Structure 1
């Protein structure tokens, strides 16, 4: 996989800039996003021709009053109890979308686990480690970044745990 930033005409995002700064190889995959798509993640998998298990969605949760990021395959759901346990917490609920946008610097549907405005504790579902590469949001709707799962962990300071159901 070649190390590169976003393709010409698509502009960089904080996610592509963070990966480039860290010297992490990634491939940008822009696509025409349909705002009417019922699931942005499943739309990305279909349009890019990738198995849904390799396309990861980034979800922000509130665990005992602090924001935490869970990254799970788009065809699965975030297990809030497992996420809380993975970060040493007791209770978890999905974060208010406005709080997730303020903290991450991204819009809902385009939140990337990489290059967030305020780095948050991040847990990537352990199933991601079974793949040579995975896809995550590039920081806006219609842009996914392909990278090795170990590089995703490194770029986000994440741990891996079973947090999908």
Structure 2
């Protein structure tokens, strides 16, 4: 277990949600999600990244597998928005309390509408940032969804050979 608990971990503890902490050496701190998966020895489809998008002043949080790209049309549809854009990285800390690479869906400054890629429903556990670069938490997707009031939706761009229902 990590010596220092992050806000995300404290909130999970308070909610009674079981999780496992995974530490990794981020090196220079500029590490991509698939490299994080490799460093902790987990398949990339089980490690999820947290992205923030907006439509005007409305923010939306998306949790998708690290090897995937957010499908902006699907993401907007899930949120009931006409069109969304990614939140500029320079605005991430101000709105979420997190920095790029350490953005957790748990413990943001506000509880924004949150959507988890529907591929998570097939997995026993997923990993998301614990709110600090170098730390991940592994937990049941349903527990994460309950904690952040998330809905499941198809959010990741699917490869040519991958059906949307996979």
Fold similarity call, TM over 0.5: yes
Give the secondary structure class of the aligned counterpart of 2:128. strand
1:37 Cα offset (Å): 4.8
Equivalent positions of 1:3-18 (< 5 A) are 7-9=1-3, 11-18=4-11
2:109 aligns with 117
State the distance in 2 between where 1:8 and 1:157 align.
26
Offset, 1:35: 2.1
1:133 maps to what in 2?
Answer: 125
**Preserved contact between residue 80 and residue 93 of structure 1 (Cα < 8 Å):** yes
Which of structure 1's runs of 4+ aligned residues deviate more than 6 A? Answer: none
The separation in 2 between residues aligned to 1:88 and 1:71, in whole angstroms, is 17
| Residue 89 of structure 1: aligned partner | 81
Corresponding residue of 1:143: 135
TM-score normalised per structure 2: 0.90
Q: Which residue of 2 aligns with 1:61?
A: 53
Q: Does 1:30 align with 2:49?
A: no
**Count of aligned pairs between the two proteins:** 157
Which residue of structure 1 aligns with residue 63 of structure 2? Answer: 71
Mind listing any 5+ residue stretches in structure 2 that lack a counterpart?
158-166
In the other structure, the counterpart of 2:163 is none
The unaligned stretches of length 5 or more in structure 1 are 1-6
Residue 147 of structure 1: how far off its partner (Å): 0.1
Task: Find the aligned partners of 2:90 and 2:110 in 1 and give their Cα distance.
Answer: 14
**Contact 1:44–1:144, Cα closer than 8 Å, also in 2:** no
CA RMSD of aligned residues (A): 1.3
Secondary structure in 2 aligned to 1:81?
helix
Compared CA separation, residues 20 and 148, structure 1 to 2 (3 A): same
Q: CA deviation at 1:64?
A: 4.3
